[in-house]
């Protein structure tokens, strides 16, 4: 069986149209068993007479240019049908060491070798490999598997290894939204990182910052004062820098100052008496005021006047810091930070980071999307196939299926109603014996009013393949009894108590019509005329050999005493009446017999 193997990849894939049944096979194959057909990931089965979309027939086996497959039922729209050659990698012919050279077998063997090479080439296309132009060629060897690790290239770029932990990646995936949020404010994060020391200082003194924020109005007032042409704060600072500061003197008598503050009304009244106050500048009064310059008071004022304290207050008073502290101190931000810091929220965020099923859900996104895309097909399957204890009666279309849990069999809806998808009878025949105790006309199930099956078997049969006997007398179908439903029989007349009804349901099946050349244990080519299929001499295979035919063997001796055997040459020659009369003896047997004489004994070899 020599064929031309074309340079065509032994794999083809189609996206089916609605109801499509025929698909081309553009590559060569030797037998129907050499190809595999898938619908999606479901392997379909070969059948010379397919009856559903899960079965297919094949044409073009052993023919150059390929052939086609035909489904037993129409495909669904967008079904992915894949066809590929799966020729067993084995040598099918062993050539003899001598004798005639089997040219046809050699051609077939070479064709199969090329087909096997094409299969390997196809499989390589679906395998990971380095390009021929890659800079560093290497032998890709996978390390031993390690649980919960990712496969990565080692730091040297020379081999693969399992090192990266899946848990860490799942944790990061659990805070993906937070990472995106931080990424969107990357510039702000960089700015804060540049003043991390200052941030740490503020954090360590957050109590003081909160105190300042509570008095932010006063801080703003100080900032506004510093912006004036003549600032009271600057005036005070200048005074503190004097050798003898008036403020220090006043601080020494702060109790008196407080007393004055509490009597500010009186002070205002006194202010109206400037002339009288001038009189206070007398030496005696000055002496009293000198008391304000005592060392204790001066020491207190010196502490306030140190450069560090003055600088610190100056930093706090800048507009940028005042604004920043104002933002941090708003009630909304304080509330938000307090909410994030609660133990419950911290615990919840830690829980989210450890949930690996969140990653599993993300990985299954493609499958969920695929189901959503094909939701109509999923719904259609639910409409077409049902499981029930009795036949559905609504939303019916020809081709619908339901599994009858009562009869334990699959049924299909035809134009005439529900019928068994295969033979109802398991085997060659199923027998039922009903004992009648009443006057029923219909028998069904295992029992009913006035009757019961002897072995409690439920009646089931294929219409047209049933024999019914009443008390041993065969009933005429369509006249004496009606048997078309597959699960009941109806008699034309009521039965009587004591009657016995025997029912025989016959199994149905279809014999396959196959060519002898399609058998896998017979020679690949048919024999010539007159040959028959026989077991070879070794008793381990079948072969075509010349068949025997009736033969006439005539014996006589010549003048030299030699035995002469004359035959009809398997019917090719004719013997005349005189030839036949000249024989010393005649044997009628099968062709192929040879005769010889050994020690005066006639030996026949078959």
H/E segment holding residue 172: helix 166-174
Q: Given pLDDT bands bounded at 50, 70 and 90, which one contains residue 289?
A: low
- The answer to whether 367 touches 419, Cβ cutoff 8 Å, is no
- Compute the distance between CA of residue 162 and CA of residue 495 in angstroms, rounded to an integer: 81
Q: Does residue 58 carry a pLDDT above 70? A: yes
Per domain, the residue ranges of the chain are 11-125, 205-329, 429-506, 516-546, 550-605
H/E segment holding residue 435: strand 429-436
Residues 21, 22, 25, 31, Cα dihedral to 10°: 80
Q: Does residue 61 carry a pLDDT above 60? A: yes
Residues 6+ apart with CB under 8 A from 81: 13, 14, 15, 16, 23, 37, 38, 39, 75
Nearest CA to 54 out of 66, 67, 32, 69 is that of 69
Mean pLDDT (whole number) for 150-170: 83
pLDDT in tens, 370-397: 767 776 776 677 677 888 888 888 888 8
Strands 488-491 vs 55-59: parallel, antiparallel or unpaired: unpaired
Lowest mean pLDDT of 60-64, 261-265, 361-365, 509-513, name the range: 361-365
- Compute the distance between CA of residue 124 and CA of residue 462 in angstroms, rounded to an integer: 51
* Radius of gyration of the CA atoms of the chain, in A: 54
More confident residue, 228 or 210: 210
Express as a percent the part of the chain with pLDDT over 90: 23
- Compute the distance between CA of residue 360 and CA of residue 107 in angstroms, rounded to an integer: 54
DSSP code, position 76:
P
More confident residue, 595 or 45: 45
Indicate the pTM of the whole model: 0.30
pLDDT in tens, 443-467: 999 999 999 999 999 998 888 899 9
pLDDT of residue 558: 83
Average pLDDT, the chain: 79
- The answer to whether 93 touches 105, Cβ cutoff 8 Å, is yes
Q: Is 57 helix (H, G, I), strand (E, B) or coil?
A: strand
């Amino acid at each position: 069986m020599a064929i031309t193997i074309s340079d065509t990849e032994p794999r083809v894939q189609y996206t089916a149209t609605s109801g499509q049944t025929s698909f081309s096979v553009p590559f060569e194959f030797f037998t129907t068993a050499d190809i595999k057909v898938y619908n999606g990931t479901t392997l379909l089965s070969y059948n010379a007479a397919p009856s559903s979309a899960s079965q297919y027939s094949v044409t073009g086996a052993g023919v150059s240019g390929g052939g086609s497959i035909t489904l037993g039922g129409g495909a669904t729209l967008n079904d992915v049908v894949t066809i590929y050659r799966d020729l067993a990698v084995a040598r099918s012919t062993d050539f003899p060491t001598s004798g005639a050279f089997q040219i046809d077998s050699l051609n077939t063997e070479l064709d199969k070798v090329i087909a096997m090479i094409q299969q390997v080439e196809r499989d390589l296309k679906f395998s990971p490999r380095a390009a021929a132009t890659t800079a560093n060629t290497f032998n890709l060897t996978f390390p031993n598997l390690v649980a919960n690790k990712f496969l990565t290239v080692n730091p040297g770029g020379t081999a693969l290894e399992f090192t990266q932990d899946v848990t860490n990646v799942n944790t990061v995936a659990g805070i993906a939204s937070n990472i995106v949020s931080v990424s969107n404010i990357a510039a702000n994060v960089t700015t804060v990182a540049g003043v991390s020391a200052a941030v740490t200082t503020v954090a360590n003194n957050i109590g003081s910052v909160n105190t300042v924020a509570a008095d932010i109005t006063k801080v703003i007032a100080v900032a506004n004062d510093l912006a004036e042409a003549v600032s009271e704060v600057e005036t005070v600072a200048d005074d503190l820098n004097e050798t003898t500061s008036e403020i220090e003197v006043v601080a020494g008598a702060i109790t008196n100052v407080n007393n004055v503050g509490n009597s500010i009304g009186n002070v205002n009244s006194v202010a109206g008496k400037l002339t009288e106050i001038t009189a206070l500048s007398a030496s005696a009064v000055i002496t009293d005021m000198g008391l304000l310059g005592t060392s204790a008071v001066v020491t207190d004022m010196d502490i306030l006047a140190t450069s560090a304290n003055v600088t610190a207050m100056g930093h706090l008073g800048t507009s940028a810091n005042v604004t920043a502290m104002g933002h941090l101190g708003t009630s909304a931000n304080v509330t938000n930070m307090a909410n994030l810091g609660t133990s419950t929220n911290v615990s919840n965020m830690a829980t989210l980071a450890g949930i690996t099923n969140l990653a599993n859900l993300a990985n299954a996104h493609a499958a969920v999307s695929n189901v959503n895309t094909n939701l109509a097909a999923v719904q259609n399957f639910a409409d077409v196939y049902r499981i029930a204890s009795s036949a559905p009666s609504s939303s019916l279309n020809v081709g619908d299926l339901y599994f009858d849990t009562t009869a334990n069999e699959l049924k299909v809806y035809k134009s005439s109603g529900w019928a068994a998808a295969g033979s109802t009878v398991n085997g060659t025949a199923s027998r039922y014996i009903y004992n009648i105790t009443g006057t029923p006309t219909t028998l069904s199930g295992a029992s009913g009013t006035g009757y019961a099956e002897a072995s409690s078997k439920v009646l089931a049969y294929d219409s047209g393949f049933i024999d019914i006997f009443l008390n041993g007398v065969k009933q005429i179908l369509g006249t004496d009894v009606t048997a078309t439903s597959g699960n009941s029989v109806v008699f034309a007349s009521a039965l009587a108590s004591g009657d016995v009804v025997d029912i025989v349901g016959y199994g149905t099946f279809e014999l396959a019509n196959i060519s002898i050349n399609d058998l896998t244990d017979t020679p690949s080519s048919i024999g010539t005329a007159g040959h028959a299929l026989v077991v070879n001499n070794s008793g381990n295979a079948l072969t075509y050999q010349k068949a025997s035919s009736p033969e006439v063997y005539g014996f006589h001796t010549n003048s030299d005493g030699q035995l002469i055997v004359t035959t009809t040459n398997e019917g090719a020659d004719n013997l005349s009446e005189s030839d036949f009369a000249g024989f010393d003896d005649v044997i009628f047997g099968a062709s192929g017999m040879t005769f010889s004489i050994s020690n005066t004994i006639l030996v026949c070899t078959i």
